[in-house]
Amino acid sequence: MTLPVLAAIAGAGGTGHAATVDRASAGTLADGTRIEVVTLTNTRGVSARILTYGATLQSLMAPDRDGRIADVVLGYDDLKSYVDRPNYFGVTVGRYANRIAGGTFTLDGKRYQLPLNDKTNTLHGGPAGFDKAAWRVASLSAGPVARLVLTHRSPDGDSGFPGQLDVTTTYTLDEAGDLGIAFDATTTRPTIVNMTNHAIFDLGGEGSAAGATGHRLTIPAGAITPVDARLIPTGALLPVAGTPFDFRKARTIAEGLRDGRDAQIRFGQGYDHNFALDKGLTATPGLAARLEDPVSGRVLELLTTEPGVQFYTGNFLDGSYLGKSGHLYRMGDGVALEPQKFPDAPNKPAFVSARVDPGRPYHHQMIYRLSTQR
């Protein structure tokens, strides 16, 4: 049985029914740019802390079935660590989430070369992607739905991508426990856009001894886009039936995480794969994944308008990342569920197109829906 977030102590956060917004300084970058932190809080114990650096979800506080509140996303306590030791914790990813093979694509007969930052590929927009940008607070508002609007301008040719891109990332938090994130962009030239949030979750509380591999996961997808040894999709669809990738019914993540008999698990060193959602590309957000922690009772549902979701088990976390409260993060300490267009779509004509044209804006709406169950 799924209950509203913090049903056991509803109202303990106050008698009002309005979510609040708090704005403060988070420090400055080396060039003197001021970075802010904005916290959205509802009356049921859920709060989201967002840095303007990288439009980053720095923390997401949520109650368990008994009302105990914990931070459920991995990350850092301070701005300096996000700058000095980047690892995409909670960031807004762009211009293009996931991998582009060889860092190259062709659009309208012209070939574009992007900087490489993943061996022979471009990952998450390259080494100077949106996760490294200082975003601007455009507006803030409290009320039944608290709202933060962040903006960023990416000039024509930025990291090799064509077109000036004016981008908006909007965070919203309502009383039910829905943290919405909407990405919008307009361009001056034909280009490609694929944006997402890269939060890494441990519903037991970041840094928990158990990590996230004991969580139960459901993904309504009958196929994945299989990859080669470079983690680039082959262009095919691989049915999940009979494989470690079958999450159509809830399964514990640990069951298939180290199944080296499967070539895809070997390539990814665990799960690092795009699932082709049964719902496809939709006008309104539909279910992409459901993550449950049997110990705390916390439940996270991910909804999105996009056709795919990348499931990643933190395979590159090797104990060298000193995270919040001095926690060393390792593989399996958290999992990412990144809704998006398919990886390398600009080079795979059969995939849903990531093209964006002047006068036809980009829009992606996603929701992290928090609840509890007994």
Supply the residues annotated as catalytic. 198, 338
CA 178 to chain centre: 15
DSSP one-letter code for 53 = B
Compute how many other C-beta atoms are within 10 angstroms of the C-beta atom of residue 308.
29
DSSP one-letter code for 355 = E
Nearest to 50 by CA among 136, 115, 154: 136
Nearest to 144 by CA among 170, 171, 173, 169: 173
Cβ atoms of 134 and 33 closer than 8 Å: yes
Angstrom CA distances, 337 to 199, 218, 291, 343, 355, stand at 8, 11, 9, 14, 23
Measure the CA–CA gap between 371 and 360, rounded to whole angstroms.
35
DSSP one-letter code for 342 = P
The amino acid occupying position 334 is G
Cβ atoms of 91 and 73 closer than 8 Å: no
Nearest to 264 by CA among 254, 276, 256: 256
Contacts of 203 (CB under 8 A, 6+ apart): 62, 72, 212, 215, 291, 292, 293, 296, 298, 299, 300
The amino acid occupying position 364 is H
Nearest to 210 by CA among 333, 27, 80, 49: 333
Measure the CA–CA gap between 72 and 334, rounded to whole angstroms.
9
Angstrom CA distances, 83 to 22, 33, 78, 251, 259, stand at 23, 13, 9, 36, 35
DSSP one-letter code for 143 = B
